Amino acid sequence: MNVMQRILIATSNPGKLRDLQGAARPLGLQVECIPNFANLPLVVEDGQTFEENARKKAEEYSLHVRGEVVLADDSGLEVDALRGEPGVHSARYAADEPHLADANTDDEANNAKLIREIKKIPPEKRTGRFVCVIVAAQDGKTLATFRGKAEGVILEGPRGTNGFGYDPLFYFPQIDKTFAELSAEEKAKYSHRGAAFREFLAWYRVNSALGN
Ligand code: ITT
């Protein structure tokens, strides 16, 4: 049987949606943004961790689609020599301190700031990782939390035109490419989001009609 199963995600970030759709498609699953997402009241991401923010988004947005399992993704880039920054502030790294929770800055400005900061660090110390936490919630309650990461090196100039966010500055030694040089299939295979989504799927197969 080949029934397309639909999974809802609460995100304003088209890059995340594309990544998840890329990871889901080969499995015959469909990932869609929750209906009317742009008109829902914004959830303020003021948590100290990816988990807190993902949980807050999943729980609050799931109240708008009662009875459905809703996913939220909170993610970012941790640079070791920058004490884990931009981290939970990844979407608003270029904003003035204290990186107010409702003030996202654009990818270009965030990347320009990362380039300025990484140039101050010796090349051999430019390690970091993308982290993704996905929370599944229903009717305002968290059902489960999933985590994925991808280890790499931060470049001081962009490479590649695919992807979004910090992808052009994130070099992934395992296949000698930046994340902006990956196809949708490769990003699903190697990325933090692909890893977290696979964990979700393993859980979903057991906990939903998919497993029947
Ligand atoms: P939503 O909260 O609406 O989902 P957002 O963009 O505000 O969208 P986050 O608060 O989780 O999401 O911020 C994540 C930021 O981390 C994102 O804007 C990128 O700058 C960066 N990021 C996360 N995953 C990434 C990836 O796969 N490639 C490049 N950058 C990524």
Which token pair is 91? Answer: 């979407």
Burial classification of residue 3, based on how many CB atoms lie within 10 Å of its CB (0-12 exposed, 13-18 middle, 19 or more buried): exposed
Pocket test for ligand 1, best of 73, 90, 134, 170 (most atoms within 8 A of CB): 90
Angle formed by the axes of helices 192-207 and 14-24, nearest 10°: 60
Pocket test for ligand 1, best of 8, 9, 11, 16 (most atoms within 8 A of CB): 16
Question: What is the pLDDT, as a whole number, of residue 103?
Answer: 73
| Residue 71 resides in a domain | yes
Question: What is the pLDDT, as a whole number, of residue 105?
Answer: 85
Question: What is the pLDDT, as a whole number, of residue 211?
Answer: 45
Verify whether ligand 1 is closer than 6 Å to residue 69 (CB atom): no
Q: What angle (nearest 5°) sits at the alpha carbon of residue 181, between those of residues 168 and 184?
A: 115
| Residue 172 resides in a domain | yes
Question: What is the pLDDT, as a whole number, of residue 2?
Answer: 46
Verify whether ligand 1 is closer than 6 Å to residue 180 (CB atom): no
**Domain, as residue range, for 185:** 6-211
Q: How far lies 76's CA from each of 16, 84, 153, 198, in Å?
A: 11, 10, 14, 18
CATH at residue 146: 3.90.950.10
| Residue 1 resides in a domain | no
Total number of domains in the chain? 1
Mean pLDDT by 10 residues, the chain (212 residues): 76 96 92 96 95 98 97 98 97 82 85 98 98 98 98 98 97 97 96 98 84 44
| Catalytic choice (74, 80, 106, 167) | 74
